[in-house]
Structures are given as C-alpha cells and as structure tokens.
Amino acid sequence: MNNIIKHKKVMAKYLPLLLSVFLISMVGCETDDQQTVARFTELTLSEEFDTDGQPNPSIWGYEIGTGENGWGNQELQYYTDRSDNVTVQNGVLLITAREESFEGSVYTSARLITKDKFEQRYGRFEARIRLPYGQGIWPAFWMLGADIDENPWPGAGEIDIMEYRGQEPTVLIGSMHGPGYSAGEAISKEYELTNDRFDTGFHIFGIEWGPEYVNFYVDDVLYNQITPEDVPGPWVFNKPFYILMNVAVGGTFVGSPDEETVFPQTMLVDYVRVYKELEIN
C-alpha cells in the first residue's frame, strides 16, 4: 500500500503535463473508426484518498437503504455509511459488500455520490480501480444527470463508465441510458481483457465527454464512442453530471449470489480524477 501512495503522489504531480503532451499529439488524428479526441488537461477534481477514515465529506455523500427508496434493480444489499462498508486505508478507498443481516436485508454495502458536491459538464472522468469478483457481485463507477430530482431517470441521463458482473472477471461494460434507450435497451459495449482479470490488479476506467460524443476507455485504450446519431431518443448529455461508485449484490443485471460466492468482496479505488478541456484560442 505504501508503494501505491508514492506512485499516486508522483503521478498526481506530473499527470497533467504528461496528459497534455500525450493528448496534444492525438488532436487532429483519427482512429480507424473516426473517433473524436480532445485535450482534457485541466484538473478539476483530484481525489487521491490520502487520509484514512471516512471519505472526504466535501466530495462524497451516501445513498442509504435499499431500492425501495426509488432506485435500484431488485438488488439485495442495504447501503450504509458504516466503516464496515466504506473506509479509506493506506491511500485506497475500500467499498465492501458483506453477507450479514441488517435492517431486513441479508447483505450490506455502500454507494458513494458527489451529488451537490461535485458536478461537471464535459471532460475526462477516470478512476483507478481493482474490482471484486463472484456470482452476483455488481460494482460500478458511473454518472447521473445533476437534474435527476426534477427530471427522473432515465430523463436525466446515465453514463456507466464501468459496470461489471463479478462472475465474468475479464469483461466490463460501458453504457449510456436516456429516454427511449434505458435499462435493457441502453446503448452498450463490452470490453474484454486478454490474459488478465479485473479482480487481480488495478485498471484505469474512464470516459472523455464532449457536446457530441462520449468516448470509453480502459487503461487508455479507446474501445467505444457514442454520439447523438447512435441513440434512438434525445441526447440528454449536455448538462452537469455527478459521480457514483458502489458495489451492489444481486439484481437483474447479475443475478443472485450462489454457494460459491465468497464474502466479503471489496472494490479498491486508488484515485478518482476529473479534467476539463484545455481552452484553445
């Protein structure tokens, strides 16, 4: 863990410069699929999880309870803000799903949000994460439109930077949801690792988002771009969004745990960073 902290401090110091050099070299270039690439080099959020204990309350809030609160997908966990389910240790955020009886549920976990604390329209959003594993385990790093209270889902829009079925530890999914293309009809694409697993090491999951596109990345590999022409309904991705991170248990996307699912299961988050686009005169 100490090596992780040293790595993070060095990278946090030099990453904006490195990104500037790397991305400037890419501007004007096109991939085989004609994707748009922009320069996102101005750091607007750098959450390095350098202080042990509860996550920084100026950045993170919590959603508490179950899907009966109006969100969820028939999941089985009760989300809490207890240190048993969410804590920072040795420079890493730990979100842990546990098998235990709590408030009428048989599993607990945590769901962190930046709603009303950090919201941004457009930019690069990324996190370095090691994922949990097992049948019925459903971690996610994602975003919702900040107007969701006035414009209920899916009207507010949703961008799933990374979601993953624990029983498929080499495959993740990036998706977008909006009016007319939500839930099972979301616009999605899978990314599969070769000779590796997402639960055995850290990987960087990110998007780059502009007025007319969202690019999806794993370890800086661009694997999908979604544009207004790709969605069968209105493009609702032109306003601020906020960040969510959670580990769900069960639900329609992954199914329930089985006798081979091992608990506890923890998602480890090394950092969360957000950039906005470099202004070009």
Query: Cα-atom radius of gyration of the chain, to the nearest Å?
Result: 18
Query: How many residues comprise the chain?
Result: 281
121: burial class by Cβ within 10 Å (0-12, 13-18, 19+)? middle
Determine whether 158 is an active site residue: yes
Report the 3 state secondary structure along 103-155. CCEEEEECEEECCCCCEECCEEEEEEEECCCCCCEEEEEEEEECCCCCCCCCC
Please identify which residue in the block is written with the tokens 């697993």.
197
Burial class (CB in 10 A: 0-12, 13-18, 19+), 268: buried
**Is 206:126 a contact under the CB 8 Å cutoff?**
yes
Cα 60 to Cα 40: distance, rounded to the nearest angstrom: 23
Please give the Cα distance from 259 to 182 (Å, whole number).
31
Smallest Cα–Cα separation from 218: which of 196, 185, 235, 236? 196
Q: Cα–Cα distance between 201 and 56 in angstroms, integer?
A: 25
Q: Which of 47, 126, 158, 208 is catalytic?
A: 158
- Residue 100 and residue 14: Cα distance in Å, rounded? 43
Q: Let me know: does 76 contact 250? Beta carbons within 8 Å.
A: yes
Catalytic residue among 75, 126, 163, 208: 163
Mind telling me the catalytic residues?
A: 158, 163
